[in-house]
Amino acid sequence: MKAKYSRYLLEFKRPSGTSRGVLHEKETFILEIENDGKKGIGECALFRGLSFDDRPDYEEKMQWLCENIDRDPLYLKEELKEFPSIWFGYEQAVLNLKHGDHLYFPSEFTEGKSAIRINGLIWMGEISYMEEQIREKLEKGFHCIKLKIGVDWKSEHAILQKLREKFSKDQLELRVDANGGFSRGEAEIVLQQLADLHIHSIEQPIKAGHWEDMASLCAKTPTPIALDEELIGITDRVEKRKLLETIKPQYIILKPALVGGFAGSDEWIAFAEELNMDWWITSALESNIGLNAIAQYTFTKKNPMPQGLGTGSLFVNNFESDLELKNELLWFKI
């Protein structure tokens, strides 16, 4: 078995804003495995500034994997514990090598018989731009919208108020993602304001790593809290369970590229379900290669909630897509 990797720079059609800053491009790495004339492809979806494995020796580890591609998968998994996005790409490539075509998790989804309901994502920007995005999502038939917040809360709050005036909670599910943009004190106020508007949930209201503060917020919040960045970098099974038992969030959100691939996501899901916590899966600006694999994986988990999957439409130089969005449903192209 042979392997090689290449670096690829995805360029945004329009700079995309989060509370961590404005993104103009997204670096990623493509892994190819070849065996007996067959090829498997995967995306090692590094997220600079957010990934646990955003380290100077990242490419060195990519090369190490290529040189050791024939080693036992359990050995590789242990060696790549601190490089979740590389393990994620390895999982994909191996699955694709096994199933061929553009398949990772064959199912009714990849047969074009069933689809995945997703939320519409609204990026930060000028208020007029955010309102323009919202109009587009509503016109396309979305019943669940997620807004990035935490930069200009006064204006963001006004947008949410306008939306709620037009659409009841039964007509439109609203989620918000703060990316850790609020302080503990600010979060307490915001959580009540969101509850007044019947907001479904807020992702990561305060920065990750403050377990006691987050636990306190989750214990008395009027708006359900979802952990996102909080899960990144927690690789030990015991520590994963300890985090969930300590904070007791209402939801957890799984980005496979950031939490140890499909195997890591499975561990988090198992613990969440044992502790009666709900969850959903979100993509993290992968190219269409990684997005395709995540979508196929997501379908197999049979979660009826709207999932946070992208559509690959943010970039000018993305790879050809195997996915197609019809209204709020993500389909696999046959």
The DSSP line for 29-83 is EEEEEEETTEEEEEEE---TTT-TT--TTHHHHHHHHHHTTTS-HHHHHHHTTT-
The mean pLDDT of 66-84, rounded to a whole number, is 97
- Domains of the chain in sequence order: 2-99 (3.30.390.10), 116-332 (3.20.20.120)
Q: Please check the confidence at residue 41 and state whether its pLDDT lies above 90.
A: yes
Q: Please check the confidence at residue 16 and state whether its pLDDT lies above 80.
A: no
| 286 pLDDT tier (thresholds 50, 70, 90) | very high
| 18 pLDDT tier (thresholds 50, 70, 90) | low
DSSP string over 158-210: HHHHHHHHHS-TTT-EEEEE-TT-S-HHHHHHHHHHHHHTT--EEE-SS-TT-
pLDDT of residue 126: 80
pLDDT of residue 243: 98
Q: Please check the confidence at residue 237 and state whether its pLDDT lies above 60.
A: yes
Half-sphere exposure of 297 (CA within 13 A, CB side): 27
Which helix (H) or strand (E) is 14 found in, with range? strand 2-18
Q: Tell me the C-alpha to C-alpha distance, in Å, between residue 58 and each of 23, 76, 86.
A: 21, 15, 9
Distance CA(75)–CA(211), nearest Å, equals 31
* Catalytic residue IDs: 148, 255
The mean pLDDT of 101-124, rounded to a whole number, is 95
Q: Please check the confidence at residue 262 and state whether its pLDDT lies above 70.
A: yes
Structure tokens at 306: 């709207």
Q: Please check the confidence at residue 20 and state whether its pLDDT lies above 80.
A: no
Nearest CA-CA partner of 30 in 51, 46, 10, 6: 6
Q: Please check the confidence at residue 74 and state whether its pLDDT lies above 90.
A: yes
Structure tokens at 54: 């955003």
Pairing status of strand 329-332 against strand 173-177: unpaired
Name which of 120-124, 184-188, 226-230, 235-239 the model is least confident about: 120-124
Helix then strand count (H, E) for the chain reads 10, 13
Give yes or no for a contact between 231 and 260, defined as CB atoms under 8 angstroms apart: no
| 123 pLDDT tier (thresholds 50, 70, 90) | confident
pLDDT of residue 249: 98
Distance CA(12)–CA(26), nearest Å, equals 8
